[in-house]
Chain A
Amino acid sequence: MKITSVEIDHLAELSNFSLSEQEKQNLGQDLENIIGYISQLDELDTKDVEPTYQVFEMENVWREDEILPQETDRDGLLALAPDAQDYQIKVPKVL
C-alpha cells in the first residue's frame, strides 16, 4: 500500500506532530513497510469472530465518590508544569 504525502500530512495532524520534509519522507517509507507487514492479516479468516479488547473481559465497577488523601497536592502538581502563575498553568494566547 502506497502512503502518499497527503496521507502523511493527515497522520501527522492526527498525531499532533509538526514534521520537517526530511522526517516526512523517512516516516513515509517506514510506515509503508510496516503497513505492508501488518496487512498480511488479510489472509486470516475472522468472519463472525468476536473481537477481544481486554483479556479478562472486565466491565465498569461503580462506587460512590469519596475524598481521600493523595500523595501530592495542588502545589506539587503545578510545580510540574513548564510554566505556571497564580495557581494557573500558563500557555500562549489561544484566541
Chain B
Amino acid sequence: MKIADKNTSAYSLVSDALEKAEKYKDYNIFISLDKEGALQKAKIIDEKIKNKEKVGRLAGVPFAIKDNFLSPAGNTTAASKILEPLKSPITATSVKKLEDEGAIVIGRTNLDSFAHGSSTENSYFGPTLNAHDKTRVSGGSSGGSAVAVALDIVPFATGTDTGGSIRQPASFNGVYGFKPTYGTISRYGVVAMASSTDCIGFFAKNPEDIDLLMSITSGQDPKDMTTLPDYYNKDGRENAAVAGAASEPHDDAISESHNATSESLPTAGPHTIGIINDFDTDSLDSDIRAALDSQIDALQKAGHKIVRLDMPTLKYALAVYYIVVPAEIASNLSRHDGIRYGYRSKDARTLDEVYGKSRSEGFMPENKRRIMIGNFVLSSGFYDAYYLKAEQARTLIIKEYEKAFSKCDFILTPVSPNPAFKLGEKTSDPVAMYLEDVMSVPLNLAGLPGLAIPVAKNKDGLSIGLQLVGPRRSDKALLEFAKSIKKEGE
C-alpha cells in the first residue's frame, strides 16, 4: 500500500476516496467525513515525499474508522444519541499507530449503536446498505467499514469484533475481515462493549494488506493491561511458546496444549484442516454449504488434509455469549450517565432524572435489551443459574477447541448460516437476529483468531464468505495460509 515510490500523490488518493464516499452517499456508509483534515494531512505527506523525508509504511493511504474509535477528528458517536456530542480529546492507540505510519483517516463509518447488532440496522443514523444489493443489510455491527472497503472507497478500514462484528459484514460484502487473537491489538480509546471478548481488527481486499496492518498495530500497550507481548512480529513458533509460558502460569492445561499446538504448526503447508460436523444443520443455506464443499475440494487438491470434527458443546456458545456479553455490557455502559460527557436530557430536573432520562433517550432499543438482560443474569437469585453457569460452559468450549486443535492446524467453517438478508427482515425478532451469530461467537469466547475470506457469489450476486480459525497467537500463520489459498485459487 506504500505510495512513496509510485506515480501518484497522497492528495489525489485522499481526494479520490472522498469523492467516492460522496458518490456512494445513498449507502449511508459514513456518519461523518473529515474532508479538510484529511486533505491537509495528505498535503503534508506529499511535501515530505517531495523533500525526500522518511515516510511511514502507509504514507498517504486513506482509510476509514468505525465510529467507535476515539480521535479528535470528528465526533465519536458509536452510532448513538448518547455519544453524539462527544468530541474526544484522545486518540485510540490503534488509530495512532496507523497514523504514525502515514495513513489518513477520511471518515467515521456507521455501526449498530455501541456495536450491538448483526445488521447495522440498530444505528441511530439509520442502516448501511449492502454493497451488492441495496435492499439488503450490510451485516454488522461494523457494516459501514465493510461496505467502504467493498465499494473501493478506501483500501482498508478498522472494525471491532465482539461476536462476529467484523467477519459477518466482511462475508456479507465480499471482502476479507480479520479478528485477531484476544489481546493482540490495544483496545485503548475504543468504546467498550464486552471487555473479555472485544477485539480490534480490519477489513481489506486481500490477506497481504491485513498482514501489514497487523504488524503495525500489534503489541503491548501500557494503556490496555489485557494486551499481549508482541508475538506477531517475531518468529511465530518460538515466541508463542515463550509468551504462552510467561502469561499463562496459572493454567497449565491451556498453556501446555497451546504450546503443543503452536509447535506443531507448520509455517508452510500442507496443513490439516478441521471441518465442524455440528455446523452442518438444516438452517445452513445450500449455497454456503456448496461453497464450503468446493473449498474443501480445492484444499485437498492443493495437498492439504481434511479432518471432520465433532464439537457438540459449540451449540451452546450462542446462549453463553448472550449471557456473558450482556453482563459485561450492563457494566461497561453504566458509565454513560449524562454527567461527564455525551447527551444530557433537556427535561431532567433532578439528578435521578438526569441518569434515567438521558439513558432512556440516549440508548437504542437493542442497547436497552442488552443492558437489562445483563442486569438480569447478574442479579441475585439468577447469577448462579445464568452468569456463573455460562462462564463454566465457556471453559468447556475452550477445551473443545483445544481438543480440535490437537487434530488439526486450522478450522474452516461458514461465517453465518445465510448470506445478507433483507432490510427489516429480522428487526422485530431479537432472537432471530442473535442466531445470525451462531457460527461466529464461539471463537470470541475462546479468544481465538478468525479470518473471513470471500469465496463465492450466489445466483443473486450476494457474497459468500468462509472463516478460517486458528489457535491463539496463530494469527501470522493463519494469514500466511490465507495468502496461499488465494494464490492456489488464482
Contacts and interface: CB of A to CB of B under 8 A. Distances in A.
Grouping DSSP codes into helix (H, G, I), strand (E, B) and loop, the A interface class, with mixed when no group exceeds half, is: loop
B421 interface: no
B353 A59 contact: no
A30 B86 contact: no
Given A27-B369, A51-B394, A38 B356 contact: no
Contact of A57 (B251, B360, B388, B391): B251
Interface in A44-95: 44, 46, 49-59, 61, 71-72, 76-77, 79-83, 89, 91-94
Interface string A11-43: 110111111000100110011011111111111
Contacts of A11: 372, 375-376, 379
Given A37-B431, A40-B319, A58-B226, A18 B357 contact: yes
A83 B353 CA distance: 15
A90 to B, nearest CB: 10
A34 B373 contact: yes
Interface residues of B, number: 76
Given A30-B369, A34-B430, A52-B391, A41 B183 contact: no
A80 B76 CA distance: 12
Contacts, number: 176
Interface residues of A, number: 53
Contacts of B392: 46, 49-52
Contacts of A72: 89-90
20 contacts: A11-B375, A15-B330, A17-B356, A23-B368, A33-B430, A34-B430, A37-B318, A40-B316, A50-B392, A51-B395, A55-B447, A57-B254, A58-B226, A58-B247, A71-B91, A72-B89, A80-B86, A83-B344, A92-B350, A92-B353
Given A50-B392, A82-B338, 7 more contacts: A11-B375, A15-B368, A52-B394, A71-B89, A80-B342, A92-B350, A93-B350
